Amino acid sequence: MNFAPTEEQLMVRDMVRKFAETQIKPVAADLDHTHRHPEEICRKLGEMGIMGVSVPTEYGGAGMDNVTYVMAMIEISKACASCGVIVSVNNTLYGHPVKTFGTHEQKLKFLQPVAGGQVEGCYGLTEAGAGSDAAALRCKAELKGDKYIVNGTKTFITNGNVARYCVLAATTDTSLGYKGVINLIVDLKETPGFKVGKIEEKMGILASGTSELVFEDAEVPAANLLGKHGQGFQQMMAGLNAGRIGIGAQACGIGRACLEDSIAYAKERVQFGKPIAVNQAIQFKLADMATELDAAELLLLRAAWLEDNGHDFEKESAMSKYFASDVAMRAAIECVQIFGGYGYVKEYPAERHMRDAKICQIYEGTNEIQRVVVARKLLGQR
């Protein structure tokens, strides 16, 4: 069993770490305050290959592995969780289904610019009545000639307000349940009948836009169908499995930021004539944070390694996602506690970490759903 990263993996991690520390972290608080989409950062990350880490180079990506992707995601999210989720969606929720199920022509047209960082992608799954119950879609796609006519509204779509391309989950027949699900690649800038709906006001990850996608008799070329009819739900589940690794890595990055900020503050904050870091109560908090974060990272790296080597990783991705996000939330709570009153004000990063951490327990499958996935795998249930 070899836990040592390769030289190439370490090189990429160190490159991303340096970029995150010098280019992302200094502006993270301002991005959070202004809710501004970090377009320049996304373009630079694209030039570095980080918007499509495991996408082959012929389609604009870096042609590397998912272990490297996890390492990069942790470093980016440690600096700015909003940037982290934008990178995650490009790589997995959008990038994975197009990379895995798209034709050569679809990859050249729809994957290359996203993996290369020229534009953003998004995944249109969630609806008002279809979240954890992903098969309960009501967004309808009706084939008429050489086009699908799409009607429906998607909610809580990360990158939805800025994305150029979308993998859209729809149903051809609601009576068919999951068997009626298809995925269409939609050019959101060139689709008659599409508009961006409500942009959500959120608790955290404020530099990452979250919006409705509204389709009213929207016309999507039939050539934009991913795979075949009847494969849509399988494609959805495969994309979510990959996406959970990215969100787990985002959570781990937030947790790492909590730990680093807590250590630095505990060393400089003096009470009763000595730094609070010498108090055992503080030391135990730091030790628990560090131990749980190391465990979370190892779970994530295992899931990524299984994916890279062609093994089933559904259970492991669910485990890593819910464990890492729970760990991040606990780390964020302790970070605020260590900062005391300063942890509750926006002058310091602790309160932002707490706001950013919470969503990791909710999106890309709530942690309750992740436990259902794990239990079903353990019991041999589908």
pLDDT digits (tens, 9 = 90+) for 44-77: 999 999 999 999 999 999 999 999 999 999 999 9
Choose the final residue of a domain: 120, 135, 156. 120
Amino acid at 227: G
Q: Of 40, 47, 364, 368, which residue is the catalytic one?
A: 364
Residue 286, in any domain of the structure? yes
Query: Do 19 and 89 reside in the same domain of the chain?
Result: yes
Residue 13, in any domain of the structure? yes
**How far apart are alpha carbons 3 and 71 in whole angstroms?**
13
Q: 318 lies in which domain range?
A: 233-379
Mean pLDDT of 148-160: 97
Query: Do 63 and 165 reside in the same domain of the chain?
Result: no
Q: Is the pLDDT of residue 382 over 80?
A: no
Choose the final residue of a domain: 232, 254, 275. 232
Choose the final residue of a domain: 232, 256, 277. 232
Residue 220, in any domain of the structure? yes
Query: Do 246 and 366 reside in the same domain of the chain?
Result: yes
User: Do 82 and 32 meet the contact criterion of CB atoms below 8 Å apart?
Assistant: yes
Query: Do 92 and 162 reside in the same domain of the chain?
Result: no
Rounded mean pLDDT of the chain? 96
User: Do 195 and 349 meet the contact criterion of CB atoms below 8 Å apart?
Assistant: no
**How far apart are alpha carbons 36 and 122 in whole angstroms?**
17
Query: Do 227 and 240 reside in the same domain of the chain?
Result: no
Strand partners, 166: 122, 186
**How far apart are alpha carbons 349 and 337 in whole angstroms?**
13
User: Do 350 and 336 meet the contact criterion of CB atoms below 8 Å apart?
Assistant: yes
- Per-residue pLDDT, 135: 78
The domain that holds 23 is classified in CATH as 1.10.540.10
User: Do 84 and 69 meet the contact criterion of CB atoms below 8 Å apart?
Assistant: no
Query: Do 261 and 368 reside in the same domain of the chain?
Result: yes
Query: Do 137 and 214 reside in the same domain of the chain?
Result: yes
Residue 179, in any domain of the structure? yes
Residue 51, in any domain of the structure? yes
Residue 334 designated active-site: no
- Per-residue pLDDT, 123: 97
Residue 242, in any domain of the structure? yes
User: pLDDT-based confidence at 282, cuts 50/70/90?
Assistant: very high
Amino acid at 141: A
Q: Is the pLDDT of residue 114 over 80?
A: yes
> What is the four-CA torsion angle of 169, 58, 18, 9, rounded to 10 degrees?
90
User: pLDDT-based confidence at 2, cuts 50/70/90?
Assistant: confident
User: pLDDT-based confidence at 316, cuts 50/70/90?
Assistant: very high
Query: Do 213 and 249 reside in the same domain of the chain?
Result: no
Residues shown for the chain: 382
The domain that holds 179 is classified in CATH as 2.40.110.10
User: pLDDT-based confidence at 178, cuts 50/70/90?
Assistant: confident
pLDDT digits (tens, 9 = 90+) for 180-190: 999 999 999 99
The domain that holds 245 is classified in CATH as 1.20.140.10
Residue 20, in any domain of the structure? yes
**How far apart are alpha carbons 356 and 379 in whole angstroms?**
34
Beta strands 147-158; 121-124: pairing state = unpaired
Nearest partner of 251 among 199, 196, 296, judged by Cα: 296
Query: Do 226 and 261 reside in the same domain of the chain?
Result: no
Mean pLDDT of 97-106: 97
CA distances to 49, 262, 279, 300, 321 from 314, rounded to whole Å, are 26, 34, 42, 12, 11
User: pLDDT-based confidence at 300, cuts 50/70/90?
Assistant: very high
pLDDT digits (tens, 9 = 90+) for 204-256: 999 999 999 999 999 999 999 999 888 999 999 999 999 999 999 999 999 99
Query: Do 292 and 224 reside in the same domain of the chain?
Result: no
Query: Do 247 and 330 reside in the same domain of the chain?
Result: yes
Residue 1, in any domain of the structure? no
**How far apart are alpha carbons 125 and 133 in whole angstroms?**
11
Query: Do 241 and 330 reside in the same domain of the chain?
Result: yes
Total domains in the fold of the chain: 3
